[in-house]
């Protein structure tokens, strides 16, 4: 993957001349000082002392004199305690950022890191016959954000919903449907009626264990292509997909493939054969496993003693299918960290099989979601449905909007964007590996560092921009030197430095598979803009500062695009 170079660091690296070192050697040594008052960038001279046989302070002085003896773009170059510090003209820098964003608009931040290479992302992966609960939120929105960001950065992306559409739970559902199913209730309540049947099955099975034998037999009938069992299985699947697609629409989530576990049933045998041929598949108490004790892991169970395959078997088949079908550069699995061992085993088996692309398979782990009163359990019916959370968030948003701006046009649409955005941002605002304790007060908090705060700041920018008719035409020409003077001040310099960093932030998200880096960045943008707005008049006695309006447009563009990448709407009025 090509490196995203910082233009200012590269300029400094090109100007520093040290015997025996190239600009490529110097570039990674250039850093941002902890105290920005010292400069925008600093080059430490300590490691050169032994080679050049001079004190670091003297080396810094010599390099300063050399840089200043030639044409340069710096406001100042200072040698301080063995560091060579560089300051750029903040006003010129702000003007450059504005010009770039005005020219690129929502393309700003993109960089062709991908060069057309393919990334497959396995995310959400809902279970058939179970409603979308709050536990599915993280996988869904993290995967969706990565999908959009990888695309923006030049990758070809394949979004995969690896459906949980195989296993004995379908036998349980068939038994439950035959015993207690009500077609009228199914037609009326759909997936929620299916879930109630699933919960009732487990309650009844505690008193009557013989139901489990019936469930195993019912699932066997699906495997044996029994027409009636297959008909029920397809009905359960159809009801589920219709329900979850409504949630995906609200979350702006799309997939390119819905190939789930069932899809790989006829693709496991070649993989198992290859494992046997390579001497990796061994018998253990009648089961077939890959022994991983030399790698500090328990055996990877692939075929049970009764001949049944497992989740790991289908995941192996899926990995081969994805490599053969998409020739992926990276194959991502956005799955909770509870599955860490599963993916360590899976990737190790691929490596032992001699697959060089095993290293390109990545488990993008995230923390678990629990309720304030404890963990969730679909079997016990102790869950919070995601659709209920979204509805409640939208309801609260509408109440707040009505109170603050009762005349707002299309309030219901704005409330949907704000409420859903609050929930999505909640899931994406912290490092993905952190556990989340779900509580309505947290999710629906509209103050502070939240999705609604970002949306409101963006709407404020739009409101300012609309005060100037044809503002895009107004901003299209380069700023004059006199106009650039309006970009003086600490608040402006801080804001432009943050805006300039968007491409690097997106590259960091791609490298670390961490959308929260973008979430935190957008909060920094919004906070910096609000400080800029307080310190600077954009319209003064009817006269518009073109430079400051340009800065406002730049913030609007970055916030709107950043929200889109996270899967959050950006209403123009709130």
pLDDT at 16: 97
| Vertex 302: Cα angle to 299 and 303 (nearest 5) | 120
Q: E strands of 20-116, at which residues?
A: 41-44, 74-80, 83-88
Q: What pLDDT band is residue 133 in, cutting at 50, 70 and 90?
A: confident
What's the average model confidence in pLDDT over 358-367? 97
- Give dist(CA 479, CA 517) in Å, integer: 32
Of 66-70, 107-111, 373-377, least confident by mean pLDDT is 373-377
Q: Which residues of 5-20 are buried (b: 16+ CB within 10 A; e: fewer)?
A: ebebbebbbebbebee
pLDDT at 444: 64
pLDDT at 374: 56
Q: pLDDT tens for residues 428-458?
A: 998 999 988 877 677 666 678 999 999 999 9
pLDDT at 327: 98
Q: What pLDDT band is residue 369 in, cutting at 50, 70 and 90?
A: confident
Is 340:363 a contact under the CB 8 Å cutoff?
yes
In angstroms, how far is CA 566 from the centroid of its own chain? 7
pLDDT at 447: 72
Please say if the pLDDT value at position 131 is more than 90.
no
Q: pLDDT tens for residues 370-421?
A: 767 655 555 555 678 889 889 999 999 999 999 988 899 999 999 999 999 9
- Give dist(CA 112, CA 101) in Å, integer: 17
Is 150:172 a contact under the CB 8 Å cutoff?
no
How much is the mean pLDDT over the chain? Answer: 93
pLDDT at 504: 93
Please say if the pLDDT value at position 33 is more than 70.
yes
pLDDT at 371: 65
**Sheet of 74-80, strand order:** 41-44, 83-88, 74-80
Give the other-Cβ count within 10 Å of 196's Cβ: 16
Give the other-Cβ count within 10 Å of 461's Cβ: 26
């Amino acid at each position: 993957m090509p490196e995203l170079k910082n233009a200012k660091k590269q300029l400094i690296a090109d100007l520093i001349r040290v015997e025996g070192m190239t600009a490529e050697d110097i570039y990674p040594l250039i850093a941002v000082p902890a105290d920005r008052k010292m400069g925008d960038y600093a080059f430490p001279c300590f490691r050169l002392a032994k080679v050049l046989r001079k004190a670091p302070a003297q080396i810094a002085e010599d390099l300063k004199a050399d840089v200043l003896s030639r044409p340069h773009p710096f406001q100042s170059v200072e040698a301080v305690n063995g560091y060579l510090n560089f300051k750029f003209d903040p006003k010129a820098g702000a003007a450059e950022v504005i010009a770039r964003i005005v020219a690129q608009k929502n393309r700003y931040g993109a960089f062709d890191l991908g060069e057309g290479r393919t990334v497959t992302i396995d995310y959400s992966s809902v279970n058939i016959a179970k409603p979308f609960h709050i536990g599915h939120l993280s996988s869904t929105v993290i995967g969706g954000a990565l999908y959009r960001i990888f695309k923006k950065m030049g990758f070809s992306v394949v979004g995969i919903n690896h459906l949980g559409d195989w296993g004995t739970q379908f036998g349980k559902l068939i038994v439950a449907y035959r015993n207690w199913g009500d077609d009228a209730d199914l037609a009326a309540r759909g997936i929620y009626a299916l879930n109630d049947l699933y919960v009732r099955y487990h309650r009844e099975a505690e008193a009557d264990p013989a139901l489990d034998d019936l469930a195993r037999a019912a699932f066997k009938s699906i495997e044996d292509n029994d027409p009636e069992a297959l008909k029920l299985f397809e009905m359960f699947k159809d009801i589920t997909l219709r329900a979850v697609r409504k949630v995906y629409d609200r979350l702006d989530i799309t997939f390119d493939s819905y190939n789930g576990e069932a899809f790989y049933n006829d693709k496991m045998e070649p993989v198992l054969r290859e494992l046997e041929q390579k001497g990796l598949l061994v018998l253990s108490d009648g089961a077939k496993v890959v022994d991983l004790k030399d790698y500090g892991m328990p055996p990877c169970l692939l075929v049970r003693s009764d001949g049944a395959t497992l989740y790991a078997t289908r995941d192996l088949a899926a990995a081969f299918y994805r490599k053969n079908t998409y020739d992926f550069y990276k194959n991502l699995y956005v799955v909770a960290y509870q599955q860490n061992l599963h993916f360590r085993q899976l990737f190790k088996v691929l490596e032992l099989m001699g697959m060089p692309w095993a290293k390109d398979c990545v488990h993008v782990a995230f923390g678990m979601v629990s309720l304030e009163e404890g963990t969730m359990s679909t079997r016990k019916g102790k869950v919070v449905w995601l659709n209920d959370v979204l509805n409640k968030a939208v309801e609260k948003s509408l109440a707040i909007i009505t109170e603050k701006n009762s005349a707002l046009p299309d309030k219901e649409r704005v409330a949907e964007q704000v409420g859903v955005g609050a929930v999505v941002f909640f899931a994406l605002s912290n490092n993905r590996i952190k556990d989340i304790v779900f509580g309505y007060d947290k999710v629906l908090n509209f103050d502070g560092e939240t999705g609604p705060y970002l949306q409101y700041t963006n709407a404020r920018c739009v409101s300012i921009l609309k005060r100037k008719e044809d503002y895009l035409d107004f901003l299209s020409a380069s700023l004059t030197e006199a106009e650039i003077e309006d970009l003086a001040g600490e608040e402006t310099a801080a804001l432009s430095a943050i805006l300039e960093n968007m491409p690097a932030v997106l590259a960091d998200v791609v490298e670390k598979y961490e959308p929260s880096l973008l979430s935190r960045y957008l909060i920094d943008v919004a906070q910096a803009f609000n400080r800029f707005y307080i310190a600077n008049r954009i319209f003064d006695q009817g006269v518009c500062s073109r430079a400051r309006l340009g800065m406002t447009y730049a913030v609007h563009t970055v916030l709107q695009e950043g929200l889109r990448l996270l899967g959050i709407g950006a209403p123009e009025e709130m």
